[in-house]
Every structure is written in C-alpha cells, then in structure tokens.
Amino acid sequence: MGDDALVLSHRLGEWAGHAPVLEEDVALANIALDLLGQARMLLSFVGDEDQLAYLREERAFRNVQLVEQPNGDFAHTMARQLYFSVYQHLLYEELAAGEGEFADLAAKAVKEVAYHRDHAEQWVLRLGDGTTESHERMQLALDALWRFTGELFEPVEGIDIDRPALRDGWLAAVTSVVERATLAVPSGPQSGAWAAGAGRQGLHTEPFGRMLAEMQHLHRSHPGASW
C-alpha cells in the first residue's frame, strides 16, 4: 500500500508545470502530496521511509503495475486515477471500518482519497462526454490500462479483506462512471498472461526501473548523507 502511494505520487509529480490548465497544476500536485503523505506514514510503519524509498531496487518494490505506468496524455493519467482512486477509496473505507493495524491511518486517508476519486470521476465525465477527440482519447486510455486492473484484487498478505467483494464494488462504481461518460467498459482480460499479482511479487514493467533510477540517483550518490 505504501509503495502504491509512493509510486503514483511520483508519477503525478511529473505533471508539475505541464498541466492543461493552472487549476490542474494545483490539483495534481495536491493529490501527489496527499499520496506522498500516505506513503510516508505507511513506509514508516515498516522501517525508515528514506531507506525504503531510495535504497531498494526494482525487484524489492511491491506496488501494483498500474501505478507505475507512465503518465501518457491527460486521459491516460485520468484513467489511471479513476481505476486506482476508486479501488483505494473502497479499500480504505473497509480498512477504516475494521480493527486492523491500518484502521486509524485509513480513517485519516479516506477523506483525501474521496476527493481524488471525485476529481478523477469528474474528468472522465468531461473527457468522455466532451468533444469527439476527447471521447476517443479517453476510451483509448481506459482500454490501454484495463489489463493492469486485475492485480488490484489479488490477495495481499497481512490485509484481511474480502477481495471478491472489493472487485464487485469497484466494477460497479467504475461501470457507472464510464457509462455516464458515454464510454464503454473495456472488454478484454483484466490481466496479462502472467501480470496479475506480479507487481506485488516485485515483477514490474520496463518503465519502472528508469523511474527509480531518476528518483534514487541523488540519494544514492551521497551514501549516509542527511538532507
């Protein structure tokens, strides 16, 4: 969960200064910052946040492949946001209601995540039901990222929740938004030949290594330094 938030935060941070309108520069940075906050809390549960973020190699990261996907165009970023924020919202709601070790943290984060979900839904509606071009781009983006969504519902050690129920809730919510946006829910498989659960086992897609090289370079160049 911490790696999911850390990696998606990094990707959203790449938008800074590149967004289609100033309001989105603010919104995307805001979401990135929320996710980074969540990542820091979650990583600190396990150990030293900087050691975990900067000194692990690709094969030791446990994030889902969805969040490491490159930003692409604005529609790709919003498709990734829709898929992930709906999942994260449902997951955190359930964890917040339970008594597990993440209950307090989830209770705090669920408010942020509800905002991320609303932001993504509003944009999927606007792009899907906007112009012909935006409709096509949004559909392409939903289709392209669909195969990374199956992984969201693979069992995770230490998090005891009803994964099939989570998947049903997620599918219903995503279907509702996609249909209101006059788009079609992608029909292909929700995972590649061996991709489902791969990120959780440290098997990632090729762009991820390059992302880590950039993220970790400075920290690794000065071993033991404090910043």
Partner 1 sequence: MAAVTADQTTQGTAGTAEEAEAAHLAAFDAAVAADDRIEPRDWMPEAYRASLVRQMAQHAHSEIIGMQPEANWISRAPSLRRKAILMAKVQDEAGHGLYLYSAAETLGTSREELLDKLHAGRQRYSSIFNYPTLTWADVGAIGWLVDGAAITNQVPLCRCSYGPYARAMVRICKEESFHQRQGYELLLALSHGTPAQHEMAQDAVNRWWWPSLMMFGPPDDASAHSAQSMAWKIKRHSNDELRRRFVDICVPQAQALGLTLPDPDIRWNEELGQHDYGEIDWTEFQEVLKGNGPCNEQRLTQRRKAHEEGAWVRDAAAAYADKHSARSGTAGATAQPVEATA
**Residue 115 near partner 1 by CB under 8 A:** no
80 contacts partner 1 (rule: CB under 8 A): no
* Among residues 3, 8, 17, 208, the one that binds partner 1 under rule CB under 8 A: 17
Total residues in contact with partner 1, by rule CB under 8 A: 49
Among 29, 161, 173, 203, binds partner 1 (CB under 8 A): 29
Three-state SS at 101: coil
Q: Would you say 24 or 93 has its CB closer to partner 1?
A: 24
CA distance linking residue 105 with residue 100, whole number of Å = 10
Pair 4, 67: CB distance under 8 Å: yes
Task: Name which of 170, 177, 192 is nearest 138 in CA terms.
Answer: 177
User: At its nearest, how many Å lie between partner 1 and the CB of residue 88?
Assistant: 19
Tokens matching residue 119? 């932001």
Give which of 4, 66, 74 is closest to 35, Cα–Cα.
4
* Binding test (CB under 8 A) with partner 1, winner from 1, 7, 36, 86: 36
Nearest approach, Cβ of 190 to partner 1 (angstroms)?
Answer: 27
Quote the least distance from Cβ 192 to partner 1, whole Å: 27
Query: CA-CA distance, 188 to 184, in Å (whole number)?
Result: 12
Residue 30 binding partner 1, by CB under 8 A: yes
Convert residues 124-163 into a mask of x (bound to partner 1 by CB under 8 A) and - (unbound): -xxx-xxx-xx--x--------------------------
Give me the numbers of helices (H) and strands (E) for the chain, helices first please.
Answer: 9, 0
Minimum gap (Å) between residue 204 Cβ and partner 1? 17
If one asks whether residue 47 binds partner 1 (CB under 8 A), the answer comes out as no
Distance between CA 61 and CA 212 in Å, rounded?
A: 10
- Which residue type occupies 14? E
DSSP code of residue 55: S
* Minimum separation from the CB atom of position 16 to partner 1 (A): 4
